[in-house]
Structure 1
C-alpha cells in the first residue's frame, strides 16, 4: 500500500531566546510585579527550556490495557479529558436518567467586559431554558461569552490534523494543552463532555459579519474530533503523520460521537446574514449526524431591523413574536428528545401555534 509522505516546506516559527523572553515577559508588565523581577527572570528561563526542548506534555502516564500501544506515554491532561468524556457518555446512555439539554450562547457580548451590556442571545436563552425545564429534564448552559470575560477561558484554534489524516485527529483533542508553547487553559476538555452528555443541543447566536461569532466558530472547529476522530492516540504514537495516513488508507470507520442527538438553532441579526448563518450551523450539525428536532426548532430572525444598536434591547422587549418563536423552538427540542428516547419517529412541534401568521 502506498502511503504518502507528509509534505513539508513552510518556514519555521521557532523563536530565538531573546524574542521568546521578550514575548514571555509581556504578561508581567504590571508594576506590581517589579519587586519579583529576579524570580520572574528565573521562571522565564524555565519556560525557555520547556519551549526550546518542545515539552508539549511534561506529565505523562502509560496508556495501559485497551490501547494499541499500552506502553505509550499519554499526557495526563488527555487521560483526564478521556475519563470525563466516558463519564458523560454513561450519563447520556442512562435510560432512567433525565432528558439532558445543552444550550450554547454564541454571543461574545457581556456586561462584564468592554460592551458593558448583556447580549440579546442571553435573554433568548433565558426564555429557552424556562421552556426546557421540566420534571424529566436537566438543562446545562455553555456561555461562550466567558471566552472574552473570564480569566483563563481559552478555546484555542483547531490545527487541522484531520486534513492530514483522519486518524491523526484524536478525540478528545490531544493538540492542547501544549505547555511548551504556552497554549494552556483550553476550555474544550470541559466542553466535550457537555456535548457528549446532552440528548438535545440548542445553539442561540447572533450574526457577526455574515458568519458565526468567533467563539462559536472556534468551538465548532474544535468539535471536528468528535466526528470521525481517533479515540486512541497511541495508534499514531502521538502526532506521527505517516502512521495516521497508513491507518486511514487501510480503512477508517469515522466514529460519530454525537450522532442521533437532537438539535435546535436560533440565529438573530440586525441587518443581514441570519438565514445563511442558521443554515451553516444546521448543516454542520446534520453533517455530524445530529437530528433536527422539528421545523419549529430552526429559526432565523431580525430584531430591530436597521434600527439603532443603542435601542436593540428595547426592540427585543417589543418583539413578543420572536420571544414566542424561541419558546416554541425550545419546546420542539424538548418534545423531539422525548420522542427520540422513546424510540419514536421525531415529529416534534407540529401542534404548536406560530406566534405570527404568514
Structure 2
C-alpha cells in the first residue's frame, strides 16, 4: 500500500484497497428479531401489556430493518471537514463533554484531578454478595489522595454488573480497518437499530480527559485484566490516534477512511502526558503480566508512569481459600501501605509535573513509527 504521488495526496485522490468482504451476515428475519426483542419482558407484570409490547416490537423491527443507527442528527457546522454532514446528536454531546473536560484539565488554577478506577466486577449488590478487595484498596488510595488535597473521581466498574442500564459495548475494531474510521469519541454507539444503547463510555471519556493522573486497581481474572477493564481499554483505542472529525470520513465510509490514512495520518494522542499508577492483585498467578500489560498500554498512549512505586503487582492470600481472602487482606498490612505509597507517589509526581519539575527524556523526539 502506498501513495501514488504527492499530487494525488494533495488532491485527496490517494488509491486505497477496497474493504475486504465475505463473512456471513448476522441479519435476522422478523420472527427471530421480535422473539429476541420480546424476551426481555418475561416478567408477569408485562403480561397485561402484550398488545402495547407487540406494537413497540413492530416499531423496533422497522428501525432494525431500515438500519436507523442514529435517528437524531444535526449538521456538523463550521470547523468540520464537511459542515453539511449530519452528525448524531449523541456524538455531539459526547464531544462537547470532552471539550469541557479538556478545559478543566488545562486550567492551571484548578485542582489536580485523579481518576481512580475499580476494575473488579464483584460487589455485595449482586450475585457474589460481597464487595471486592479491589474496592477496598481503592478506598485506601482515595483516602490518601484526598487527604493530600487531590480531587478524586471514583469510577466503580462493578456497576456494570450490578446497576440497571450500565453497559460498555465491545469495540468494533474500526481502527484496524483504517485509523480515520475510529472516531474520537467513539461514534459506534449508541446504535438504536441494534438495541446497542445505554453505553457507559460517553460518561467515561470525559473522566479520562479531565484527569491529570489515573490510578487503576484491578484483580487478575484468568491471567488477564477483569472484563470491565478490558472492555474500557478496547473502547479507549479512539483516545490514541482517533479521528476527531467524523465528517472527514462521512461517518463509517471505510474506503474513504483508508484514503485518509494513506495520505499520512497524524495519530493524535488525546491523553498524552497524563500520569498513571496501576495496582494489580491476584491469588495464584498472572499479576505481574497483567500489571505490565496495563502499564505498557498506557505508555503506548503516551501517558507517563508516576514512578516504580506507583506500579504494583501483589498476591493476597496466595493459594489460600477464597472464602478467607478478605481476612488475608486485613492481615497484609504491607500491601495496604504499598497501595497508599503508590497513591502518594502519583500525587508527588502530579505536583512535580504542574510545577514543571517532572521531565521525561525523549518527549520532544519524533516517533518514527506512529500508530
TM-score by length of 2: 0.93
1:53-111 per-position Cα deviation (integer Å, ceiling 9, x unaligned) = 00000000111100000001100000000000000000000000000000010000000
2:93 paired residue number:
80
Matched, 1:166 2:179: yes
Q: State the 1:346 CA deviation.
A: 5.4
2:239 paired residue number:
226
2:267 paired residue number:
254
1:237-277 per-position Cα deviation (integer Å, ceiling 9, x unaligned) = 00000110000000110010101000000000000000000
Matched, 1:50 2:63: yes
1:355 paired residue number:
none
Separation of aligned partners in 1, 2:77 and 2:212: 31
Distance 1:87 1:320, change over 3 A: same
Matched, 1:239 2:252: yes
The range that moved more, 127-136 or 194-203, is 127-136
Distance 1:314 1:136, change over 3 A: closer
Q: State the 1:113 CA deviation.
A: 0.3
Separation of aligned partners in 2, 1:19 and 1:2: 41
Distance 1:177 1:247, change over 3 A: same
Instruction: Answer yes or no: is the 8 Å Cα contact 1:294–1:346 preserved in 2.
Output: no
Separation of aligned partners in 2, 1:63 and 1:152: 29
Counterpart secondary structure, 1:133 = helix
Separation of aligned partners in 2, 1:134 and 1:199: 17
Stretches of 4+ aligned residues off by more than 6 angstroms: none
Instruction: Answer yes or no: is the 8 Å Cα contact 1:6–1:241 preserved in 2.
Output: yes
Separation of aligned partners in 2, 1:285 and 1:275: 16
Matched, 1:145 2:145: no
Q: State the 1:121 CA deviation.
A: 0.3
Note the 1:253-292 alignment, pairs <5 A. Answer: 253-292=266-305
Instruction: Answer yes or no: is the 8 Å Cα contact 1:336–1:346 preserved in 2.
Output: no
Separation of aligned partners in 2, 1:300 and 1:82: 35
Q: State the 1:342 CA deviation.
A: 1.1
2:358 paired residue number:
345
Q: State the 1:345 CA deviation.
A: 2.2
Where in structure 1 are there 5+ consecutive unaligned residues? 348-358
Note the 1:165-184 alignment, pairs <5 A. Answer: 165-184=178-197
Separation of aligned partners in 2, 1:89 and 1:136: 21
Q: 2:223 aligns with which of 210, 213, 216?
A: 210
1:113 paired residue number:
126
Instruction: Answer yes or no: is the 8 Å Cα contact 1:72–1:234 preserved in 2.
Output: yes
1:120-152 per-position Cα deviation (integer Å, ceiling 9, x unaligned) = 000000000011114642000110000000000
Where in structure 2 are there 5+ consecutive unaligned residues? 1-13, 361-371
Separation of aligned partners in 2, 1:128 and 1:34: 48
1:176-212 per-position Cα deviation (integer Å, ceiling 9, x unaligned) = 0000000000000000000000000000000000000
Counterpart secondary structure, 2:272 = coil
1:132 paired residue number:
145
2:36 paired residue number:
23
Give aligned pairs, total. Answer: 347
Separation of aligned partners in 1, 2:153 and 2:358: 25
Q: State the 1:344 CA deviation.
A: 1.0
